[in-house]
Structure 1
């Protein structure tokens, strides 16, 4: 049997940003109840008082605050090294039969110069390469016969070391990226391994992005 509480909970769970804002107590519950009322009534097949929805939201927000954030915050407090690199360029190439050979040559160049930044990721149709801008000419020369769909300069990276527990707790990345979104940070690229992720942002946003991530350790 459907209840007001169960229907309200299902409605909120389908809207992640709303769920997080509700857990943090930054939403006017009376106003929210008026907005969701038509959908709640349609799901239940009967009229529902605003007060009943408000009460369901109150109970839900208290429960969510613990469930959604307690384990996440515990992990975020254990964030390790945060590394920032600037003066980066992002290249995107279409995947081809020869592109791995070109990438191998680039890696040989990178290995001879330990001071440069390099990271790469490959999708089904695209290969993404991020390098220090001192390697721009090298990349363009090695990949001159490849199809470059995009090149962006004046970028910075922030690499974050996460504790091993991050793979056992749902919502870690959502929690971090949500905070960045609230600060108006545009994520140009996101590259991750099991216990580490790197975001790429414009140079003029790197200071705010770094502070936002660092402040997560103080929650």
Structure 2
């Protein structure tokens, strides 16, 4: 059975922001203990007392404070781009909506337009260029459940060697969240990650991601 101390060490080492917080004494350990408790119980497969977590966090903090903080493996992105003038809409997931969305997709692709679709358990969200929203309203028979207008996206591409590195997508989302930016939607392929946000915040998100994960930031060309 895994030790509590080992589980805590793994969780901290896997999270760059926890490691940073420990090294610079930025964290309230009691709050961290409550936050990590269910994650530790899942790894140890047993019930764990919050006091035991707090005690181990205190020991680990003293240890980490005595050494130089090391960043996660040098993750960097190959490309980053912005796509503006977008909007999204959500409909119920039915056979009819599937057929209508397929028809809309064909219409937009014939005009070399942009459209991406995400399916959930009971809903489907489509992201299209704003100029095609009227066409979507004509082709989709049911009222939209949600509409987000004036969207933009920040898309990044990274090397496939990072596919097995835990948390790289989370790191990019954290950089956006730390700027107080509301993430509307996300999508991904194997080596691409796209974050959809309000147009007014897209430049800040772009600069934040590029400054943290760009090749120049990591001493690469």
TM-score exceeds 0.5? yes
Q: Which residue pairs with 1:70 in the alignment?
A: 72
List gaps (5 residues or longer) in structure 1. Answer: none
Q: Which residue pairs with 1:117 in the alignment?
A: 114
Is 2:129 the counterpart of 1:132? Answer: yes
1:43 to 47, 52, 55: 52
Alignment length (residue pairs):
201
3-state DSSP class of the match of 1:185? coil
Contact 2:12–2:19 under 8 Å retained in 1: no
Distance 2:167 2:120 in 1: 23
Q: What's the Cα RMSD here?
A: 3.6
Distance 1:37 1:198 in 2: 32
Q: Which residue pairs with 1:92 in the alignment?
A: 90
Distance 1:172 1:139 in 2: 34
Report the alpha carbon displacement of residue 199 of structure 1 after superposing the two structures with TM.
Answer: 0.8
Q: Which residue pairs with 2:41 in the alignment?
A: none
Closer, same or farther: CA 34–157 of 1 in aligned 2, 3 Å: closer
Closer, same or farther: CA 120–33 of 1 in aligned 2, 3 Å: closer
Q: Which residue pairs with 2:5 in the alignment?
A: 6
Q: Which residue pairs with 1:158 in the alignment?
A: 154
List gaps (5 residues or longer) in structure 2. Answer: 38-48
Contact 2:81–2:156 under 8 Å retained in 1: yes
The normalised TM-score by structure 2 is 0.75
Closer, same or farther: CA 53–106 of 1 in aligned 2, 3 Å: closer
3-state DSSP class of the match of 1:170? coil
The one-character-per-residue Cα deviations of 1:3-42 (angstroms, maximum 9, x if unpaired) are: 9x9289369649958624425x34347xx46877999883
2:64 to 60, 76, 96: 60
Closer, same or farther: CA 6–80 of 1 in aligned 2, 3 Å: same
Q: Which residue pairs with 2:177 in the alignment?
A: 181
Closer, same or farther: CA 64–199 of 1 in aligned 2, 3 Å: farther
The one-character-per-residue Cα deviations of 1:41-83 (angstroms, maximum 9, x if unpaired) are: 8328xxx7xxx975631323677943xx332xx232xx12212
Report the alpha carbon displacement of residue 190 of structure 1 after superposing the two structures with TM.
Answer: 0.5
Q: Which residue pairs with 1:102 in the alignment?
A: 100
Distance 2:125 2:92 in 1: 9
Q: State the structure with more CA Rg.
A: 1
Report the alpha carbon displacement of residue 161 of structure 1 after superposing the two structures with TM.
Answer: 0.9
